[in-house]
Chain A
Amino acid sequence: MRQRTIVLIAVGVVLLAGSAWAHHNMTAIFDFNDRVMLSGTLTKVDWRNPHIELVVDAKNGDQMESWSLEGPPPSFFRARDINRSDIEAALGKAVTAEASRARDHSRSGLLRVITLPGGKVVSACPQNC
């Protein structure tokens, strides 16, 4: 099998990350070197395969922007004892999130870390890092 070096890395990453669906190629869509920090309100949670989606309404100057953040699959979080209810409890509340921005510069990103209202930090790494 070709490209064994990358394969082995990826295998290692996945093994160490637990369950992880590679639904699509993240680096094709998101720029891992272009990160955004968002502070705003969690307004939507779609907690389904092949990957979760969170929507955060964040202010940019006077304007309110709605950011869609794609995360790992739910099983990634289940394996870390983080459930849908943990995230849904933050709906309508203030959160901060770090994401790798979409290459098309739309208001979407690949979730790296989200900090919930109580201060709990939920990391999507290393899968999304």
Chain B
Amino acid sequence: MKNSYRFAIVVTLAVCTLAASVAGYGQALPTDPVERAKVVAQFFEANARRLMLFDREGKEAGVVGQRDVYNQPVFSPDLTRVAVSRIDLDKERSDLWVLDIATGRGTQITASQTREQATNPAWSPDGSQVAYVGVRGGYFGIYRKASNGEGREELLYQGGSLISLNEWSMDGRYLSYFSADLAGGNSMFALPLNATGERKPIEIARSKTQIQGGRFSPDSRFIAYASNESGKMEIYVRPFDPAAAPGSKPAAGPWQISDQGGLGMANWRRDGKELYYLAADRGIMAVPVTTSPDFEFGKPTLLFRPPADAITGVAPGTSSISRDGERVVIAIPPPQLRQLTILDRQGKVVSIVGQPGFYVQPGISPDGKRLVVMRTDPKTSNQDIWTFDIATGQGYAVTNDTHPENAPIWSPDGTQVAYASFREQYSGVYRKAWDGTGNEEQLFRYTPGAFMVLTDWSRDGKFLTFWTGVLNLIALRPEEKALDRKAIEWIREDYDVIDGRFSPDGRYMAFLSNEVTINKTDVYVRPFDPNKPETPAGPAIQVSKDGAIGMISWRQDGREMYFLTRDWEVMAVDITTTPAFQAEPPRMLFKLQGPLPGNPPQWNNVSRDGERFVFAMPVRASTPAR
């Protein structure tokens, strides 16, 4: 990806996924205590991580504390404690905790209020303090506080926008952070701590590409960071001159340290002789370096790879290495490896498809013979669209590039797959043959910088649906060029409307909406007139009765619909569409062992005859991930 927008779509997707796994997309937490507890428990189950320690060879060296919704673990300089950010969903806040490695005992360091947060811990060189990014009263700032939790927090810098703190330099003089600015690029800063009066950040580097994760060499003469200026994320080192003019070229370098991609987590050993980073394949890498008299570096070598079933959950923000280079702490997520699994109407496993992999959002082709899925490559971290033959398990890469493709849907005749992708400031819709052959064709380009979630392709091939809180249509008129097509706002209201799915005869659209209750979505159906696609052709009829989180599907004969509840119940509803739409009370077909990974509003995973349901089921790694 050659621009800095990649992270934005990744952010959005991650937010979609996590938000959906919490409470259903776009929903606030329920106020009812029982429902709220249920949502919080599901969130915990889906997101809680174990803080696992490893030595340099990857041998397990213990677990710190209890499993919890931890992220951003960082070793104290003396290697006796780990500072970590912890999300408390029930109280809608996040705080920093310091965990004693020997006992697992935790001390809460910060005390955020509801809808405040404390993240990105960075230890002072002597371990007596922790700096962090705080959201206080709605404003981002960099703060510090005693690492035993005592005393008051001190505001060091009030930021104007989203800040990500990386490190407190080993000489104690600077904090390094970066701020993402997608219009003018990203900037990496050093915040002087010894200055008197108002602290003015020093802009170390500014780039239209991603630039982040800066950490100082022990003598603060160099800084290591991750950037995708070459077209993919790599690790670089450049000199740090606090007196240099903003935007000026470095006196030397930058030097690319990684040789097979580097996601981040660039850390220097205390003696300045070794540098570490997380490679594209999630391997923990070490590079011999010297900083005096000049910067020199050797060839990266692999220390170890994290456990295979969790590997795509390992990232710069979920792992770090100790100052002596002897210990790695990784916040290990629930198993990320998934098996494409087909169930019948009773919830019984009918078949599994292919080998376990890092899949989400499988969908069944119109003829019921193939699956389409989003797949993350564990070696490159690329997110592509794949199809699989159900009978043989044979996989086909529909896309194979560094663009993050998502939200695949089958064409009505099953010969093509449409998907969304964020490229060069624009979300767009593309299509390609199901087996990856031939050229990709762009169908639509959305507003600059705006995000979209693609959800359906009408059976007559004339319309696509996507949502942004607004339920939009794209009319695929053959005479119209892709870049000339405009989004049609089918429903734009003060409540959220998502996940539009056409009835087989094209006369109705089903969708999720929280019109009645902010913290609960239900399935509704409204008439659709292809000759007047600017507005629904009639009032809404509620289909679900007690909430739904997605998986809206219609049976081909128009006599049955399906959806998923917050309790992971797969529901069926008898319906009629002629002369007018009517729905009977929903009934449960079967219940899943949720929460399942992914974003249920996007799931289009029911066969057209209503006999088969496909899910990406979590599995433990017994064989290498494909």
A residues lining the B interface (CB < 8 Å): 1-25, 27-29, 32-33, 35, 47-50, 73-75, 78-79, 84, 100, 103, 112-113, 123-126, 129
B119 within 8 A of A: yes
- A contact patch SS: mixed
Q: Given A27-B161, A79-B28, answer yes or no on A125-B11 (Cβ-Cβ < 8 Å).
A: no
Q: Which 3 A-B pairs have the closest CB atoms?
A: A125-B138, A4-B315, A32-B161
A sample of 14 cross-chain residue pairs with beta-carbon separation below 8 angstroms, ordered by A number, consists of A3-B6, A4-B315, A5-B264, A6-B212, A8-B71, A16-B94, A17-B115, A18-B115, A28-B449, A48-B492, A75-B28, A79-B519, A103-B183, A112-B138
CA distance A5 to B140 in the complex (A): 16
Determine which of B22, B85, B115, B451 lies in contact with A22 in the assembled complex, contact meaning CB atoms within 8 Å.
B451
CB <8 Å contact, B316 and A5: yes
CA distance A112 to B138 in the complex (A): 9
Determine which of A6, A16, A78 lies in contact with B11 in the assembled complex, contact meaning CB atoms within 8 Å.
A6
CA distance A47 to B492 in the complex (A): 10
CB <8 Å contact, B451 and A7: no
Segment of B192-200, B494-502, B541-549, B568-576 engaged in the interface with chain A = B494-502
Q: Given A12-B119, A126-B135, answer yes or no on A3-B10 (Cβ-Cβ < 8 Å).
A: yes
Chain A residues closer than 8 Å to B89, beta-carbon distance? 15
Of residues 213 through 238 on chain B, the ones whose CB sits less than 8 Å from some CB of chain A are: 213, 233
Beta-carbon nearest neighbor of A11 in chain B: B18
CA distance A11 to B87 in the complex (A): 10
From residue B588, how far is it (CB to closest CB) to chain A in Å? 27
Of residues 316 through 337 on chain B, the ones whose CB sits less than 8 Å from some CB of chain A are: 316-318
Chain B residues closer than 8 Å to A47, beta-carbon distance? 494
Q: Given A21-B468, A23-B451, answer yes or no on A7-B160 (Cβ-Cβ < 8 Å).
A: no
CB <8 Å contact, B26 and A75: yes
Q: Given A123-B138, A129-B139, answer yes or no on A10-B15 (Cβ-Cβ < 8 Å).
A: yes
Chain A residues closer than 8 Å to B182, beta-carbon distance? 25, 27-28
CB <8 Å contact, A2 and B183: no
Beta-carbon nearest neighbor of A51 in chain B: B469
Of residues 111 through 151 on chain B, the ones whose CB sits less than 8 Å from some CB of chain A are: 114-117, 119-120, 133, 135, 137-140
Q: Which of A2, A19, A50, A79 has the most CB of B within 10 A?
A: A2
Chain B residues closer than 8 Å to A33, beta-carbon distance? 160-161
CB <8 Å contact, A49 and B315: no
CB <8 Å contact, A49 and B496: yes
Chain B residues closer than 8 Å to A84, beta-carbon distance? 494
From residue B498, how far is it (CB to closest CB) to chain A in Å? 10
Beta-carbon nearest neighbor of B12 in chain A: A22
CB <8 Å contact, B7 and A28: no
CB <8 Å contact, A6 and B180: yes
From residue A83, how far is it (CB to closest CB) to chain B in Å? 9
CA distance A90 to B414 in the complex (A): 53
CB <8 Å contact, B518 and A13: no
CA distance A25 to B446 in the complex (A): 13
CA distance A10 to B135 in the complex (A): 12
CB <8 Å contact, B161 and A129: yes
From residue A108, how far is it (CB to closest CB) to chain B in Å? 14
From residue A78, how far is it (CB to closest CB) to chain B in Å? 4
CB <8 Å contact, B469 and A49: yes
B164-176 toward A: CB 8 Å interface, digit per residue (1/0)? Answer: 1000000000000
Q: Given A2-B7, A25-B8, answer yes or no on A9-B115 (Cβ-Cβ < 8 Å).
A: no
Determine which of A19, A25, A32, A100 lies in contact with B496 in the assembled complex, contact meaning CB atoms within 8 Å.
A19
B93 within 8 A of A: yes
From residue B438, how far is it (CB to closest CB) to chain A in Å? 28
CB <8 Å contact, A12 and B161: no
Q: Given A3-B6, A3-B210, answer yes or no on A75-B117 (Cβ-Cβ < 8 Å).
A: no
From residue A6, how far is it (CB to closest CB) to chain B in Å? 5
CB <8 Å contact, B496 and A13: no
Determine which of B15, B85, B93, B138 lies in contact with A14 in the assembled complex, contact meaning CB atoms within 8 Å.
B15
B514 within 8 A of A: yes
B365 within 8 A of A: no
CA distance A84 to B183 in the complex (A): 31
From residue B124, how far is it (CB to closest CB) to chain A in Å? 20
B425 within 8 A of A: yes
CA distance A23 to B137 in the complex (A): 24
CB <8 Å contact, A24 and B316: no
From residue A19, how far is it (CB to closest CB) to chain B in Å? 5
Determine which of B19, B26, B233, B376 lies in contact with A15 in the assembled complex, contact meaning CB atoms within 8 Å.
B19
Chain A residues closer than 8 Å to B442, beta-carbon distance? none
Chain B residues closer than 8 Å to A73, beta-carbon distance? 469, 496
Beta-carbon nearest neighbor of B494 in chain A: A74
